Amino acid sequence: MSEDIIYAAAATLAQRIRDRSLSPVEIAQAHLDRIESVNPKLNALIAFPDGVMERAREAEAAAMRGEFWGPLHGVPFTVKDCVDTAGVVTTRGSRLFEDHIPDADATVVTRLKDAGGIFIAKSNMPEFALWWETDNLVYGRTENPWMIGRTPGGSSGGEAAAVASGMSPLGIGSDVGGSIREPANYCGIVGLKATHGRIPLTGHWPEALLRFMHVGPIVRSVGDAALALSIMAGPDGADHYALPVPLPDVSELAQPAGLRVGWCPEGPFAPVERQVQDTVASAAAALGELGCSVEPVNLDGWEKMSGQQISARIFAAEGNVYLDPIIEGRKDMLALSMQRRLNIPGPSYEEYLEAMDQVEQLRAATIKLFNDYDVLLLPTGPMVAHPHDTRRHEIGSETAPARHALTCTVPFDLTGSPALSVPFGLSDGGLPIGVQIVGRHFEEATILRVGAALEELHRPRRGRPPV
């Protein structure tokens, strides 16, 4: 199997198809062979469409005629199991939907197909996409390709594990609390949560908490994140949250010199592992050397607007109201973790209103920060990939609950800000460490510029997972 195929960027594969140095058939076969070799160890991909090689042969024939379907002509892609795929089982990680086969593709799937992409597999996720581990009663647990026994994160953990291990060059994930960025962080790849409303949610499930939900790419390069965004973005006439805001050209990402960067290695996200703090500091120093104006950012007061507490209250109230009629007395079919979550008493009316008010305060505070900075540089997560089923995190001399894994990402789902996770270090144990770049609404181009610069600096020491 050729590693120059399975670890190539999606954009590189597309270009090689255009210049005829690789064929869509070679690329599809290499990825299917990789899946056969690696997926039994990782359990990242869980359902497969018919006709992949037939579609690859059609793409090859078209290319030989000089006909190209779009910027992803002949490039494989994978899809998280809560995103609809016509004719292919979409279980949403639950036995309640074990036999569910959608009639139509989600908007983002349609757009990738229309761009010439070839859909090759669905990826694993936790039940209802509402957990920070990737495990369910339908398909079981997904492993981290960097270290078996460690989590790939959630809820897009299957997608991140597949992309990191060379089974897919481009994946569709979703993010309501960090579910694109945290798995990308744990698996040493790139995850982009665009501005809320930039990419339509049509065909994504659950259809709850939509004002905080995002769909986006999980890839191996910042350039691929930009390419995928350019294909997936824009209103579709169905999702009323999708806004007709033009996307700037992101095909060429300029150097970040002159940008104002506010960085925070811990602050309101404490406790954060020392090696993660050091990685954020190193990234800040690197941006300073590239000509950015870099200074520590004061996030005092953010502790009072805890994204974790806010989201827990809102999700408990709205999520339960949405899910109760769907479950309809079949709670015994759910995973124990989901049963426990649904049994948590919802907030009082006053607590719910307080949480909604805190969302507005958090949004106002974030907008105010961007009067002084072009981007924020933060940890993607407070720790590296942890062992499965960790219930308490020991960080330095402090202890934090399991949900602390998402403390750095949740706030920016609540604000809808664009946020990008890029790898920038390795832990003492050889696990990836990512940094998070957050920007103003609809300024994805700016965070992509910063991410591309950091990616280039980290490239020589990035490595590949040992799986």
Amino acid letter, 443: E
Return d(Cα 298, Cα 263) in angstroms, integer.
Answer: 9
Q: Quick check: is 368 catalytic?
A: no
Helical pair 10-18 and 24-42, crossing angle rounded to 10 deg: 150
Catalytic hit among 94, 123, 155, 311: 155
DSSP 74-111: T-EEEEETTB--TTS---TTSGGGTT---SS--HHHHH
Return d(Cα 386, Cα 206) in angstroms, integer.
Answer: 27
HSE of 32 in the Cβ direction (CA atoms, 13 Å)?
16
Q: Quick check: is 221 catalytic?
A: no
Please, where are the H alpha helices in 292-439?
A: 307-314, 320-327, 336-343, 349-369, 410-415
- The closest alpha carbon to 222, from 185, 250, 245, belongs to 250
- The closest alpha carbon to 444, from 266, 287, 298, 251, belongs to 251
Question: Cβ neighbours of residue 95 under 8 Å, at least 6 residues apart?
Answer: 137, 138, 333, 334
CA distances from 443 to 42, 383, 440, 450 (A): 35, 28, 5, 12
- The closest alpha carbon to 31, from 73, 66, 1, 58, belongs to 1
Element (DSSP H or E) covering residue 15: helix 10-18
Q: Kindly report the backbone phi and psi dihedral angles of residue 235, in degrees, each rounded to the nearest multiple of 5, phi listed first.
A: -65, 155
Return d(Cα 433, Cα 426) in angstroms, integer.
Answer: 5
Question: How many CB atoms are located within 10 Å of the residue 344 CB?
Answer: 11
Catalytic hit among 23, 168, 179, 311: 179
Q: Are the C-beta atoms of 268 and 384 separated by less than 8 Å?
A: no
Amino acid letter, 288: G
First vs last Cα of the chain: how many Å apart?
14
Q: Are the C-beta atoms of 85 and 79 separated by less than 8 Å?
A: yes
Q: Kindly report the backbone phi and psi dihedral angles of residue 437, in degrees, each rounded to the nearest multiple of 5, phi listed first.
A: -115, 120
Reading the block at residue 229, the tokens are 């965004």
Q: Quick check: is 193 catalytic?
A: no
Catalytic hit among 23, 80, 221, 311: 80
Active site residues: 80, 155, 179
